[in-house]
Amino acid sequence: MFSTDRIRRPEAMVLFPMVIVTTFTLAGCSSGNEQDSGPTVEGDPVGTLGAHEHGVVRMGLAVDDQRMSLDIEVPAATVFGFEHNPETEEEIRVVSEAMETLRTRVGEVIVVSSELACELEDVEVVSAPEVDEEHSHSEDEDAHSDDEEHSHSEDEEHAHSDDEEHSHSEGEDAHSEVRVSVSWFCAQSVEGTDATLSLSSLWPDAKLVDLTVITSMGQAAGRVAADASFSF
């Protein structure tokens, strides 16, 4: 149900599970109240591990001197407007365009001082709904399908309907997320500086962020707005 799209992955990439687990373990805690004692994230406690909340993006940011590594988990509905794998031509188009936008603009979700001269180093789409062109039917295929449907017996139609309802029900209960890993390398050390989230232009439906920041000086976590400021 999910695909992996890898552009380039450096050895220094921080693993998504580690950061996200830390996010929910720390649940709104900060390692210190002053910037020089560690990162600061001012917000409410983060959500529960594994909970699916529409409009809530999970971000785990690890800072190691000049390198920033970010893991993002965003509900598919926030990215595409729906959660199931695309089936129609329109849904396939929406997913393809949204994923292309994500790949080219995901590096904009965190804004730091231009003096740091940070450059995007890597973008990896860890998981996303699959785009299956075979499920996009042409008009001829649809017409052929209609002819076949008229030839079905009532028993076949009832059995097919039952199977579809069962499958559709399972699909409605399922949730999916898009997971992306991003890294930057900066000309100067990033630790001890300020940053701002900038998710609204990329994902307008993203309202809140469960943010965890980990540095050599400590770690902090909180649920913040999609345009919140924080410090490393």
Residues 47-103: tens digit of each pLDDT: 665 565 778 999 999 999 999 999 999 999 999 999 888 889 999 999 999 999 999
**What is the pLDDT at residue 1?**
44
Q: Is the pTM of this model over 0.75?
A: no
Q: What is the chain's alpha carbon radius of gyration, rounded to the nearest angstrom?
A: 21
Residue 104 covered by a domain: yes
Domain that holds residue 129: 2-137+177-231
**What is the pLDDT at residue 55?**
85
Domains in the chain, number: 1
3-state secondary structure the chain: CEEEEECCCCCCCCCHHHHHHHHHHHCCCECCCCHHHCCECCCECCCCCCCCCCCEEEEEEEEECCEEEEEEEEEHHHHHCCCCCCCCHHHHHHHHHHHHHHHHHHHHCEEECHHHCCEEEEEEEEEEECCCHHHCCCHHHHHHHHHHHHCCCHHHHHHHHHHHHHHHHHHHHCCCEEEEEEEEECCCCCCCCEEEECCCCCCCCCCEEEEEEEECCEEEEEEEECCCEEEC
**What is the pLDDT at residue 211?**
97
**What is the pLDDT at residue 130?**
73
Residue 121, pLDDT above cutoff 60:
yes
Residue 189, pLDDT above cutoff 50:
yes
Find the Cα–Cα–Cα–Cα dihedral 61, 62, 67, 68, rounded to 10°. Answer: 0
Q: How far apart are CA 220 and CA 102, in angstroms?
A: 26
CB 61 within 8 A of CB 20: no
**What is the pLDDT at residue 35?**
45
pLDDT average, residue stretch 186-195? 94
6-20, 67-81, 134-148 — most confident range: 67-81
How many other β-carbons are positioned within 10 Å of the β-carbon of residue 56? 20
Q: How far apart are CA 130 and CA 3, in angstroms?
A: 6
Confidence of residue 127 (pLDDT cuts 50, 70, 90): confident
Q: How far apart are CA 8 and CA 103, in angstroms?
A: 12
**What is the pLDDT at residue 171?**
43
Residue 166 covered by a domain: no
Q: How far apart are CA 186 and CA 9, in angstroms?
A: 17
pLDDT average, residue stretch 7-19? 40
Residue 169, pLDDT above cutoff 60:
no
Residue 220, pLDDT above cutoff 70:
yes
pLDDT average, residue stretch 217-228? 95
Residue 169 covered by a domain: no
